[in-house]
Amino acid sequence: MKTRYLFGLLALFVFVAGWCTKDQFIKSGLSNGRFDGSLLEYMEAPGHSYDWDSTALMVRHAGEKMVRLFEGQDPDHPEITFLGPTNHSIRRYMLENNIERVADMDPLWCEEVLLRHVLDRKLYRDDIPRGKKAGGIIEGGMECLSLGGKGIYLFTMRGSYGTVQEAGAVRIYCVVKGTNVDIDIASSNIEPNHCVVHSLGYNFTLNRDLEIKGKVYEENYIYRGSNICLLPECLS
């Protein structure tokens, strides 16, 4: 009897572990997402280097303006949301462009790239309306403009749990304005003192997935009623 009981517990553990690894997750080292310090301090904190050390180097290399912003000392932007590219995204870009060190990048370019990922207020996951994207049409959600002038469309969806629809975790989905490019949000609601961080998935490529390829349209989204159309025929 005891053997069967222990076997049942082991099976349950394996089952739960399988669910926990189903979605990509950026390890923050925090159980509740809160960090008592600035965004820059969070990225440079012990235990966070695996995901954030190159991002922090980009901030410092971009200059004092970016350092103030990421330290929460910019009076024009006291609270921000950071759609944060992690080390994997930055290193992939460096590898593709034969760049050995972050210090070899153009500081002005680093500033421009970072600002594309910053929104001028705290935006928690629960602040983002529910929506969906199907066949190039986005329904619901919200449109945001980054400090770098990049239009970003955000919406949330509740996933399934096993075979039960709408019973899983709520996740953020991101679409770049002017494209049909989806950007994966791996972890959300990481919260330094002045900021909310939604970390981008490891498959995000720096300076490629937030760029508009091909023809640039004055109005990149075409509204069909209350929805947004991303189909090529809407953008021609």
Summarize pLDDT for 141-172 with one digit per residue, the tens: 999 999 999 899 999 988 777 777 666 789 99
Return the minimum-mean-pLDDT range out of 30-34, 71-75, 79-83: 30-34
Tell me, what CATH number does 108's domain have? Answer: 2.30.180.10
Residue 145 in domain: yes
18: pLDDT strictly greater than 50: no
Task: Determine contact, residues 196/190, Cβ cutoff 8 Å.
Answer: yes
Distance CA 40, CA 195 (A): 10
65: pLDDT strictly greater than 70: yes
Q: How many CB atoms lie within 10 A of CB 127?
A: 13
Q: Which helix (H) or strand (E) element contains residue 233?
A: helix 232-235
Residue 11 in domain: no
Residue 3 in domain: no
Q: How many domains does the chain have?
A: 1
Give percent of the chain above pLDDT 70: 72
* Sequential DSSP letters for 30-57: -SSSB-SS-HHHHHHSTT-HHHHHHHHH
pLDDT for residue 69: 98
* Model pTM above 0.85: no
6: pLDDT strictly greater than 70: no
pLDDT for residue 1: 53
| pLDDT, mean of residues 70-92 | 96
The more confident residue out of 200 and 10 is 200
Q: State the residue range of the domain holding 129.
A: 32-212+221-235
Residue 123 in domain: yes
Per-residue pLDDT band for 138 (boundaries 50, 70, 90) equals confident
Residue 17 in domain: no
Task: Determine contact, residues 200/84, Cβ cutoff 8 Å.
Answer: yes
Residue 2 in domain: no
pLDDT for residue 78: 96
Give percent of the chain above pLDDT 90: 56
